[in-house]
Chains A and B, each alone.
Chain A
């Protein structure tokens, strides 16, 4: 059999992981749009979503949906606390200092998770069954279908939240013109605070979706975070649509590459893509409101 016969299979797993990258990227973009901050603890929100759900499901023996729900709430709370304790006190500091602060927060969160919940990799049961479904001649894990459908529903929910509600529009206003918004009483600090909550929630959601497919350990947030960041840059830094597109493109390319190169090099693909995009098209596929099209 030639490698080509694996392509549909790889495509399907690429779409699955792509959905996760898209959600992580969206988390990055939500915070960046509100505050210009690159939150390097984004991957830790994902990790915590998986690990805390595991804790409530396996240790506290709560029902699965309840465990997931509580985990999301707790991670949102962690996002809020991170804003209040790390980002808000540094609101007047330069972007570089904020960057280091979020990096510090990310190390703090992953170590704390290791201490509290142990360093062993954890996995969650699939939402329903393990027997692959046959779709168009490709065998697909039911969890992959769950990932895709849940991601779609979350994206629609987020879209409605940001385009159909007054609060969403206020967040948009504050991100496109902070001074204009502040002068109307729409507090930029409050909007950044909310963005941290939304981001953390989206991250935790992604973590719960992906843990049944891949193992999650206290340290797995770092790589996921970086991949999500690359996806956001690839699609167009600062654009929601770019984050989603970048996530799927990165997932699919990374997965398809397995047909041609040894699996051990898979992670290098993402960084290769980052270098290429930064060199040839720094504003990303869909263009970026924060980066000009100049090449360096």
Chain B
């Protein structure tokens, strides 16, 4: 469904991503893991057309979408729940959802149907319909950000650290929602630092570090991999070094 080939992205002269390749198949949940500053957000923003690539190709459903504008990419069916939520604080919850359906704004009936599909999953969005989004709690804002992206009726949803700042109980709730969305046919690409939670619902995962893809594999293989432990354990030692010498 999504294919990335040798993607390089730079901020100024420095590459933040270096020759990244990956593939996501229809119906999958794929995790993208990596420490702070690895380039995860950069990759998602590039997929959504916010950042432009200098080299490499992005294919979505066989079509080249490299460096298209964000609205073209959204209309092709790629939704994005950004890191930090980015809800519209001065608009009501319902208006936020309507913004999610902006590109389909004339399909009133479809919008209503989509709301009916989203409310049972994210009931808080119905309960707080008329509240200003800025007054929602952090968890509720995350639900809103997810619901808002869903209003665009995406085929592929990009999620950037959806667990960030949530209490553990709420994290489980959010990931249960992802699983349900996936059961309904949505493909998910999840950036996470909550490795176990994210891999628990994923079939496969990728490991990014310093802008390079250093490992890919099934969720269970990744969980056992040494690279993952080293990369995310807050430990910067090279795998080759002998750990016992330190004690």
Q: Which residues of A contact B (CB under 8 A)?
A: 166, 169-170, 172-173, 176-177, 179-187
| B99 in the interface (beta carbon within 8 A) | yes
When A177-B86, A177-B88 are in contact, do A183 and B80 touch as well, CB less than 8 Å?
A: yes
Known: A184-B99, A184-B102, A185-B102. 20 other contacts (CB 8 A): A166-B98, A166-B105, A169-B91, A169-B98, A169-B99, A172-B91, A173-B91, A173-B99, A177-B89, A180-B88, A182-B70, A183-B48, A183-B50, A183-B80, A183-B82, A183-B149, A184-B100, A185-B75, A186-B99, A186-B102
A180 to B80 CA separation, bound complex (whole angstroms)? 9
Contacts of A183 in B (CB 8 A): 48, 50, 70, 74, 80, 82, 86, 149
Contacts of A169 in B (CB 8 A): 91, 95, 98-99
Contact of B74 among A176, A177, A184 (CB under 8 A): A184
Contacts of B82 in A (CB 8 A): 179-180, 183
Chain B, range 122-148, C-beta contacts under 8 Å to A: 148
Q: Give the secondary structure class of A's interface.
A: helix
Contacts of A184 in B (CB 8 A): 74, 99-100, 102-103, 148-149, 152
| B2 in the interface (beta carbon within 8 A) | no
Contacts of B88 in A (CB 8 A): 172-173, 176-177, 180-181
Write the chain B residue with the least CB distance to A189.
B69
A7 to chain B, nearest CB (A): 39
A55 to B159 CA separation, bound complex (whole angstroms)? 57
A173 to B144 CA separation, bound complex (whole angstroms)? 14
A180 to B48 CA separation, bound complex (whole angstroms)? 11
Contacts of B74 in A (CB 8 A): 183-185
Contacts of A179 in B (CB 8 A): 50, 82, 86
18 contacts between A and B (CB under 8 A): A166-B102, A166-B105, A169-B95, A169-B99, A173-B91, A176-B88, A176-B89, A176-B90, A176-B91, A177-B86, A177-B89, A179-B50, A179-B82, A180-B85, A182-B50, A183-B50, A183-B74, A186-B99
A185 to B82 CA separation, bound complex (whole angstroms)? 13
Binary interface encoding of chain B residues 38-56 relative to chain A, with 1 for a CB under 8 A from any of its CBs, else 0: 0000000000101000000
Is A185 a contact of B103 with CB atoms below 8 Å?
yes
Write the chain A residue with the least CB distance to B80.
A183
Chain B, range 172-198, C-beta contacts under 8 Å to A: none
A185 to B75 CA separation, bound complex (whole angstroms)? 7
| B87 in the interface (beta carbon within 8 A) | yes
Q: Most chain-A Cβ atoms within 10 A of its Cβ — which of B70, B100, B105?
A: B70
Contacts of A185 in B (CB 8 A): 70-71, 74-75, 102-103, 152
A74 to chain B, nearest CB (A): 29
A274 to B33 CA separation, bound complex (whole angstroms)? 51
A179 to B145 CA separation, bound complex (whole angstroms)? 13
A177 to B90 CA separation, bound complex (whole angstroms)? 10
A171 to B117 CA separation, bound complex (whole angstroms)? 27
Is B87 a contact of A180 with CB atoms below 8 Å?
yes
Contacts of A173 in B (CB 8 A): 88, 91, 96, 99
Chain B, range 47-85, C-beta contacts under 8 Å to A: 48, 50, 69-71, 74-75, 80, 82, 85
Contacts of A172 in B (CB 8 A): 88, 90-91
Q: Most chain-B Cβ atoms within 10 A of its Cβ — which of A166, A180, A184?
A: A184
Is A187 a contact of B86 with CB atoms below 8 Å?
no
Is B86 a contact of A180 with CB atoms below 8 Å?
yes
A268 to B17 CA separation, bound complex (whole angstroms)? 55
A207 to B137 CA separation, bound complex (whole angstroms)? 46
Is A187 a contact of B99 with CB atoms below 8 Å?
no
Contacts of A182 in B (CB 8 A): 48, 50, 70-71
Q: Which 5 A-B pairs have the closest CB atoms?
A: A180-B86, A185-B74, A185-B71, A185-B103, A173-B88
Write the chain B residue with the least CB distance to A177.
B86
A235 to chain B, nearest CB (A): 17
B46 to chain A, nearest CB (A): 12
A183 to B96 CA separation, bound complex (whole angstroms)? 13
When A166-B98, A179-B86 are in contact, do A187 and B71 touch as well, CB less than 8 Å?
A: yes
